Amino acid sequence: MTEHSDETDDALRRRLRTGDPATALPPLDPNRVAALLEETMSETPNHSPKPGRSRWLLVGGVAAAAAVLGVVALGLGDNDESPSGGGSSTEPLALPTPSTTELEAGPAVAAKCLAPTAEAAARQTVAFEGIVTEIKDGTVTLAPTHFYAGEETALVKVAAPDQGMSEAPDAFVVGGEYIVGAKDGRVAICGLTGPADADLRGLYEAAFGK
């Protein structure tokens, strides 16, 4: 079985060599092969590409041009020109003014105050807890963290009370957290305005709820 297979392979190889026209030619000189290869690589083709290749080159060129135009369009969309094409805008961006409640200092009193109560706290038309962010030109600015009563605003500005008057609230300090009560636009005294401790917070929670 093996000898018959070898004979078949040898016969097939002889038939292939017989059908190959290059077997009758003498071997080509290696130097000639190198010269032909160099000449082929350096030759500039002078024929036009096939129609099918030209079509794909054209499509590729159009696609590349479209990509470039897309990049340019994106660049133009990022400039500062107005939608009407009137040129770049140099006007500053107008930011909304934060809502603000303005309160005055309470009136000076000569008599001693009674101890603060939840009933007295309930008579305040504005009551909030907030943090002092600025003290400037006799005005205290607070950022409210919780409103017990009154319209909720982003800021509250309070005219700093005269610390020389009787029963004045504790002096405001930047970064301090306070509870402020007010009625008719005036800051309450007599213990109804002061640092946000548990006792004062308990009065306002009893008056208005948490």
Least confidently predicted of 1-10, 31-40, 119-128: 1-10
Rounded CA-CA distance 54/59 in Å is: 9
The pLDDT, as a whole number, for residue 69 is 38
CA 194 from centre of chain: 39
Alpha helices by DSSP H, the chain? 2-19, 30-42, 51-77, 118-122, 198-208
Contact (CB, 8 A) for 127 and 183:
no
Average pLDDT estimate for 70-98: 56
Rounded CA-CA distance 134/34 in Å is: 88
What is the maximum alpha-carbon separation in the chain?
135
What is the pTM for the complete model shown?
A: 0.54
Instruction: Please write the tens of the pLDDT for every residue from 137-190.
Output: 989 999 999 999 999 999 999 987 665 555 556 789 999 999 999 999 999 988
Give residue for tokens 């109804």: 192
Tell me if residue 180 falls in helix, strand or coil. Answer: strand
The pLDDT, as a whole number, for residue 160 is 74
Rounded CA-CA distance 125/186 in Å is: 10
DSSP 8-state secondary structure symbol assigned to residue 90: -
Least confidently predicted of 52-66, 112-126, 172-186, 189-203: 52-66
* Domains of the chain, earliest start first: 100-208 (2.40.50.120)
Q: For strands 177-183 and 155-159, give the pairing.
A: unpaired
The pLDDT, as a whole number, for residue 206 is 97
CA 119 from centre of chain: 48
